[in-house]
């Protein structure tokens, strides 16, 4: 009888150790910085060769037109601010607005320094970077999934998914 209780105690103890170890492995997070490397786009017929290159301090998009996905939303955001407070920016023509909201010039044409942006932990294995430019206007946000090494470029409901090579 005592050996049976001892056996059950050992099994329960080992089960708890396995459960705690499994929970630790599934929920552990690494550094909140995005690991250096190349992240290829997934499931995108229009830009199948697109990728993001990440260095210690910068990110840069390649082989993609971010304006096609996000510029219209950027223009609407800027226009709302300008219309509500014309004194802040002054009068902006549509052409000036198009230049201000050119996301390719910010993220594609040259590396973008994301190191000054705080990683906001938004889930067990998820960090979000609210990358702003031009007087703190939200550009293309990035979400990094530490457990599956994926980047999600997002603005409103438009999401582009990239996976580490």
Regarding whether 87 and 124 lie in a shared domain, the answer is: yes
User: Residue 35 above 90 pLDDT?
Assistant: yes
Report the chain's mean pLDDT, rounded to a whole number. Answer: 85
Q: Is the pLDDT of residue 160 over 80?
A: yes
**Are 3 and 25 in a shared domain?**
yes
* Residue labelled with tokens 């409901």: 157
Q: Residue 148: is its pLDDT beyond 50?
A: yes
Same domain, 46 and 113: yes
Q: Residues 45-74: what's their mean pLDDT? A: 95
CB neighbours of 107 closer than 8 A, spacing ≥ 6?
59, 60, 61, 66, 139, 140
Q: Which of 117, 139, 116 is nearest to 129 (CA)?
A: 117
Q: pLDDT value at position 29?
A: 46
Instruction: Tell me, yes or no, whether 95 and 137 share the same domain.
Output: yes
CA torsion 144-75-110-66 (nearest 10°) is 60
Average pLDDT of the segment spanning 64-86: 86
Same domain, 45 and 23: no
Statement to judge: residues 38 and 13 lie in one domain: no
Q: From CA 68, how far away is CA 162, in angstroms rounded?
A: 17
Structural domain of 12: 1-30
Query: Per the structure, how many domains does the chain have?
Result: 2
Mean pLDDT for 146-165 is 92
pLDDT-based confidence at residue 50 (cuts at 50, 70, 90): very high
Is 125 in contact with 146 (CB distance < 8 Å)?
Answer: yes
Most confident among 16-20, 57-61, 122-126, 135-139 (mean pLDDT) = 57-61
Write down the pTM of the prediction.
0.77
Query: Which of 11-15, 27-31, 47-51, 130-134 shows the lowest per-residue confidence on average (mean pLDDT)?
Result: 27-31
Q: Any residues with CB less than 8 A from the CB of 84 and at least 6 apart, and which?
A: none
Asked if residue 11 and residue 1 are part of one domain, the reply reads: yes
Six token digits for residue 61 = 């998009």
**Do 3 and 74 lie in a common domain?**
no
């Amino acid at each position: 009888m005592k050996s049976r209780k001892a056996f059950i105690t050992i099994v329960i103890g080992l089960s708890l150790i396995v459960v705690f170890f499994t929970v630790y492995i599934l929920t552990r997070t690494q550094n909140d910085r995005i690991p250096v490397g190349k992240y290829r786009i997934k499931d995108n017929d229009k830009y199948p060769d697109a990728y993001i290159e990440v260095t210690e301090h910068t990110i840069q998009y390649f082989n993609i037109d971010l304006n096609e996905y996000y510029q219209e939303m950027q223009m609407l955001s800027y226009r709302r601010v300008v219309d509500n407070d014309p004194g802040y920016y002054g009068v902006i023509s549509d052409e000036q607005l198009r230049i201000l909201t050119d996301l390719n010039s910010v993220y594609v044409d040259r590396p973008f320094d994301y190191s000054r942006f705080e990683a906001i932990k938004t889930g067990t294995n998820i960090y979000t970077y609210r990358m702003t430019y031009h007087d703190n206007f939200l550009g293309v946000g990035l979400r990094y999934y530490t457990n599956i090494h994926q980047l999600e470029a997002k603005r409103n409901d438009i999401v582009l998914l990239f996976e580490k090579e």
